[in-house]
C-alpha cells in the first residue's frame, strides 16, 4: 500500500500583521501546535506565510517548533535588476521552506500569467522549496461552465516544472469567488475539482499522483471538518482565519486524523 498523502494547513497572512500582533499570534500558535499529546504525531504539517519583511521575526518565534515558515511569492530569477523582488536563495537564508506561487490576488492584481507562474514554480522547486501552486476559477468562469477548463489550463501550464521535482509540489485549489467572501465552495464542488486536478496531474506525470491538494477560500474552524473528510482534500490554505489563533488551530485539529 502506498503511504498516505501528507496533509498541510498553511496560513496566508496576506498584507496583515505588525511586530506586536505577529508575536502574539505566533506565541498562541506555537502553544497550540506543541500541545495535543498523542494527536501531536498525527497533526498535518503547519506553515505560516507572513509578509516577507517579517520572515526573520516569525522565523525566530517558531525556531525549534514544528511550524514551518512560508513566503507569499518569489522571484523567478536568481538575482539581478528586479526591483522589489526576493529570490529563492534569499528566502532560504531566512529559513523559508514553503512558498505560495500564483495566488489569485497576484494573478489578478500583479498580472501574473500562467507562464510567469510556471517560471516561479521552476525556480522554487529547483531551490528545494515546498511550492504551493494556487489555481482557481472566477465566478464568471464558473457561471459560463468553464471552471474545469480554466483550472485544467492552469495545471497544464506548470506540469513540466512540477514533474521535475514532484516531491516538493503542493496544489491549492482556491475558487476566486470563495476567497475572502465568506462563501466556501460546498464540499461536493471542492471534492469534484480536487479529483479533477488529481487526474489531470497524474495524466501529466505519474510521479504527481501523490501530490497533496489543499482547498482554500473562506476556510474556518467551523467548515474545516467537513472539508477534511473529503477523500481528495489534503489540507487547507487559509487567509482571514489564519490571523485568529483559535480559528487556525481549529482548522489544524480538523485536519488531524482520528486515532
Ligand atoms: P480566505 O483566503 O481564507 O480569507 O478566503 C484564502 C486565500 O486567499 O489563500
User: Domain spans of the chain?
Assistant: 8-31+43-79+98-244
How close is the Cα of 217 to the center of ligand 1, in Å?
5
What CATH number labels 8-31+43-79+98-244?
3.20.20.70
Cell readout for 144 is: 459560463
The Cα–Cα gap between 82 and 79 comes to: 8
DSSP per-residue letters across 119-132: HHHHHHHHTT-EEE
- Please check whether residue 73 is in contact with residue 109, taking contact to mean a CB–CB distance below 8 angstroms: no
pTM of the model: 0.97
Strands 235-238 and 213-216: parallel
The residues lining ligand 1, judged by C-beta closer than 6 Å to any ligand atom, are 12, 174, 179-180, 216-219, 237-241
- pLDDT tens figures, 33-82: 988 666 777 899 999 999 999 999 999 999 999 999 999 999 999 999 99
Q: How many CB atoms lie within 10 A of CB 97?
A: 15
How close is the Cα of 138 to the center of ligand 1, in Å?
14
- The mean-pLDDT minimum among 29-38, 63-72, 90-99, 172-181 falls in 29-38
Q: How many CB atoms lie within 10 A of CB 9?
A: 29
Amino acid at each position: 500500500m502506498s503511504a498516505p498523502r501528507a496533509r498541510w494547513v498553511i496560513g496566508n497572512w496576506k498584507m496583515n500583521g505588525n511586530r506586536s500582533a505577529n508575536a502574539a499570534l505566533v506565541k498562541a500558535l506555537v502553544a497550540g501546535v506543541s500541545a495535543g499529546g498523542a494527536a501531536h504525531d498525527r497533526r498535518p504539517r503547519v506553515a505560516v506565510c507572513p509578509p516577507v519583511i517579517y520572515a526573520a521575526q516569525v522565523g525566530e518565534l517558531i525556531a525549534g517548533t514544528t511550524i514551518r515558515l512560508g513566503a507569499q511569492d518569489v522571484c523567478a530569477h536568481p538575482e539581478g535588476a528586479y526591483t522589489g523582488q526576493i529570490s529563492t536563495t534569499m528566502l532560504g537564508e531566512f529559513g523559508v521552506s514553503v512558498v505560495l506561487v500564483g495566488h489569485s490576488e497576484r494573478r489578478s492584481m500583479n498580472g501574473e500569467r500562467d507562464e510567469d507562474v510556471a517560471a516561479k514554480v521552476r525556480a522554487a522547486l529547483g531551490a528545494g522549496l515546498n511550492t504551493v501552486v494556487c489555481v482557481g476559477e472566477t465566478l464568471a468562469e464558473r457561471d459560463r461552465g468553464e471552471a474545469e477548463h480554466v483550472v485544467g489550463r492552469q495545471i497544464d501550464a506548470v506540469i513540466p516544472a512540477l514533474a521535475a521535482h514532484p516531491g516538493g509540489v503542493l496544489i491549492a485549489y482556491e475558487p476566486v469567488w470563495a476567497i475572502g467572501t465568506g462563501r466556501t465552495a460546498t464540499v461536493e464542488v471542492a471534492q469534484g475539482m480536487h479529483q479533477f486536478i488529481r487526474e489531470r496531474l497524474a495524466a501529466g506525470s505519474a510521479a504527481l499522483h501523490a501530490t497533496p491538494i489543499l482547498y482554500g477560500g473562506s476556510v474556518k474552524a467551523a467548515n474545516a471538518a467537513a472539508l477534511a473528510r473529503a477523500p481528495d482534500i489534503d489540507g487547507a490554505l487559509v487567509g482571514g482565519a489564519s490571523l485568529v489563533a483559535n480559528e487556525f488551530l481549529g482548522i489544524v485539529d480538523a485536519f488531524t486524523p482520528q486515532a
